[in-house]
């Protein structure tokens, strides 16, 4: 989310990162701080402190990169309002409680791979968590909104009846991009 924010600042009004795991939300919050000048300045200062402490020039180069990103962020529109929050993606009430108004136009998801992370929370018993996630998201988003799902290629369980704006693969990853108005009927 932070990288998308830095790359597409001029297209964004607000970034909201959600996860069911408190540790993931805390990590996202620290990363999202890099979408502000203050956060990037603090990171650059910390990297320069480490450069002096450890005598490693790599930290100084990383600090210079943080300064460059701060400059690019200012030029592209300045700080982005960015928030990390705890929510179970299967629970539309929890999701709705976090959403700004108007609701987001774009949702980016990276599904659990069942290695380092697995589905948690109100996991559906029918074995179709991806459909359940899309159903919950459709419950809180407007028709024009777009949902992008990335996961391991062999784990995309949406059938051919689910209309996509795009489906593609990059290496072992598969991506599905669909519009809420078209997903409501099938999810
Ligand atoms: C593959 S990881 C993606 C992590 C993140 N995109 C990143 O790049 O660091 C999948 C994430 O899904 C989260 N997750 C699992 N079940 C969830 C649920 N019911 N609601 C929201 N997030 C969930 C896990 O905690 C995990 O952080």
110 Cα: distance to centroid of ligand 1 (angstroms): 7
What pLDDT does 92 receive? 94
CA distances from residue 101 to 14, 119, 184 in whole angstroms, order as listed? 10, 28, 21
Contact 63, 54 (CB under 8 A): no
Contact 151, 115 (CB under 8 A): no
User: Is the CB–ligand 1 distance for residue 165 below 6 Å?
Assistant: no
88 Cα: distance to centroid of ligand 1 (angstroms): 10
**For the chain, which domains are there?**
1-86 (no CATH), 90-187 (3.40.50.150)
* Residues contacting 132, CB < 8 A, separation 6+: 90, 123, 124, 126
Kind plus residue range of the DSSP H or E element containing 173: strand 173-179
61 Cα: distance to centroid of ligand 1 (angstroms): 31
What pLDDT does 127 receive? 82
What pLDDT does 23 receive? 97
- Among protein residues, the one whose CA lies closest to atom 2 of ligand 1: 112
**pTM for the model:** 0.91
Tokens describing residue 176? 């599905």
What pLDDT does 84 receive? 97
Q: What is the pLDDT along the chain (187 residues), one digit of tens a residue?
A: 999 999 999 999 999 999 999 999 999 999 999 999 999 999 999 999 999 999 999 999 999 999 999 999 999 999 999 999 999 999 999 999 999 999 999 999 999 988 888 999 999 998 889 999 999 999 999 999 999 999 887 666 677 778 899 999 999 899 999 999 999 987 7
What pLDDT does 163 receive? 85
User: Is the CB–ligand 1 distance for residue 151 below 6 Å?
Assistant: no
């Amino acid at each position: 989310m932070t990288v998308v924010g830095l790359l597409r600042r001029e297209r964004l009004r607000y970034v909201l990162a959600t996860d069911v795991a408190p540790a993931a939300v805390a990590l996202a919050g620290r990363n999202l701080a890099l979408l502000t000048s203050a956060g990037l300045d603090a990171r650059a200062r910390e990297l320069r402190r480490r450069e002096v402490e450890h005598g490693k020039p790599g930290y100084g180069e990383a600090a210079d990169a943080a300064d460059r990103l701060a400059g690019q962020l200012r030029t592209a529109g300045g700080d982005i309002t960015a928030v990390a929050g705890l929510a179970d993606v299967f629970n539309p009430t929890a999701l709705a409680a976090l959403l700004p108004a108007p609701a987001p136009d774009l949702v980016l998801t990276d599904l659990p791979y069942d290695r380092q992370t697995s589905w948690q929370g109100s996991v559906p018993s029918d074995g179709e968590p991806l459909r359940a996630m899309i159903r919950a998201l459709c419950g809180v988003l407007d028709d024009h909104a777009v949902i992008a799902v990335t996961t391991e290629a062999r784990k995309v369980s949406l059938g051919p009846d689910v209309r996509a704006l795009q489906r593609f693969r990059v290496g072992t990853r598969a991506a599905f991009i669909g519009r809420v108005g078209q997903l409501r009927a099938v999810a």
